Amino acid sequence: MEIKVLGTGCPKCKSLEKLTREVVEKNGIQATITKVEDITEIMKYHIMATPALVVNGKVEIKGRVPSAAEIKEVLSKY
């Protein structure tokens, strides 16, 4: 599974990255997590607000920091 956290480095973006890493580690999920801060790269996903969570190329969550339970639920679909 490939996970990307999109965000330019704001506190919410950092929070989403930290939370995602914790959920993946705690649940033994096999995944590669990448933090994308390049605005040109972020724009390719057609989102208007960061942070965003992208799983296997699909934008799953955008514009907010979800709960750990919500992240786990999204990742469990993959």
pLDDT recorded at residue 11: 95
Per-residue model confidence as pLDDT tens digits over 5-25: 999 989 999 999 999 999 999
Q: How far apart are CA 28 and CA 12, in angstroms?
A: 24
Residue for token digits 């965003």? 52
Beta bridge partners of 65: none
pLDDT recorded at residue 51: 97
pLDDT recorded at residue 5: 98
Phi, psi of 13, deg, nearest 5? -65, -45
Q: Catalytic positions, please?
A: 10, 13
Which sequence spans correspond to the domains of the chain? 2-76
pTM: 0.94
Domain at 2-76: CATH architecture: 3-Layer(aba) Sandwich (3.40)
Per-residue model confidence as pLDDT tens digits over 24-77: 999 999 999 999 999 999 999 999 999 999 999 999 999 999 999 999 999 999
